[in-house]
Amino acid sequence: MDLDGKLRAHFNALYGDGRAVEPYRRPSLPIRKTYCILITPRSGSTWLTRRIARLDVLSCPDEFFNVNEFGNTLKFNPGRDIYEVFDLVARKNCTDSGLFGFEMSYFDLAEFEREAKLLDVMLGEKHFFYLSRRNFVAQAISLFTAVESGVFHTYQSDAVERLPIPYDGDKIRYWACHILQQEYGFQRWLDANEVWPVRLSYEDLLDDVDGTIRRIARHLGVDLARAGARAIPQTEKITADGAAEYEHRFRHEHREFCQAWSELRGTAPCPFPEIPSGQQSCRQS
């Protein structure tokens, strides 16, 4: 494995670069099944996983291995390597029946596998779900407005007001490529590892988010009738002002791009255009 990645930097910060650390030996853990929800940005993943977390039978499938937050994960789960960190997190967050779940973006998956293959680290039966969004243009507009406003989520108890964001076709196209490149990366990983995930969509969540959770539970063999309730803050759906107008305008201005990538998504790399001035990469979902 390539150990020069961003997760390795967090390990080095904790233990010191090159310091001899006693190798970790995995114990036998009461984890019978592990599931991973692969996510793309603005696909409704936080909405879905927080609704899942209300139930005490499906674990709390959070982004435990998010590169940007991994220092905090490591602080409370000070493992010597990615195997030990995974085991510590899994033990804390598994259900009484031995089920552990987590979610992961493509970029975080790529960084994770600089340390070890995900399939080697996951415990027990391994299950995968893949959450995406059919309308990648609307998804890119949602990501664009979230990045520009700095508001990615709002909770039921919040009174967050997001100011109108002026249309910018170049930035929307950039974020569309950001999403499409992740879809391509995921598909390559799935093919290489012969993984066939249960496919979920943002649009399915809009139609019936609890129906999607029942589908996840059935696949995992979990009886929701036995679920207890937990007090987990729930997010609200955010719709940007002018989103429909922005989509119509973008599809008109970038007709060939939209038509081509409606057919190519997941099957070919999507080269990033030059990053717009002042723009930063984003891992939020």
Of 273, 118, 278, nearest to 189 by C-alpha is 118
- Contact residues for 176 (Cβ-Cβ < 8 A; gap 6+): 136, 137, 139, 140, 257, 261
Asked if residue 82 belongs to a domain, the reply is yes
Average pLDDT (215-242) is 77
Total structural domains within the chain: 1
Asked if residue 46 belongs to a domain, the reply is yes
Structural domain harbouring 213: 6-264
Question: CA-CA distance, 238 to 143, in Å (whole number)?
Answer: 11
| Global confidence as pTM | 0.88
Asked if residue 270 belongs to a domain, the reply is no
Task: Give the tens place of pLDDT for each residue, 244-274.
Answer: 999 999 999 999 999 999 999 999 999 876 6
Asked if residue 255 belongs to a domain, the reply is yes
- Residue 200: CB atoms within 10 A of its CB come to 23
Asked if residue 190 belongs to a domain, the reply is yes
Q: How confident is the model at residue 161 (pLDDT cuts 50, 70, 90)?
A: low
Asked if residue 113 belongs to a domain, the reply is yes
Give the mean pLDDT of the chain.
Answer: 88
Task: Give the tens place of pLDDT for each residue, 10-67.
Answer: 988 888 766 567 889 999 999 999 999 999 999 999 999 989 988 889 999 999 999 9
Asked if residue 280 belongs to a domain, the reply is no
pLDDT higher than 70, residue 155:
no
Q: How confident is the model at residue 282 (pLDDT cuts 50, 70, 90)?
A: low
Asked if residue 283 belongs to a domain, the reply is no
Average pLDDT (153-168) is 67
Question: CA-CA distance, 80 to 74, in Å (whole number)?
Answer: 9
Q: In this structure, what CATH number is given to the domain that contains residue 45? A: 3.40.50.300
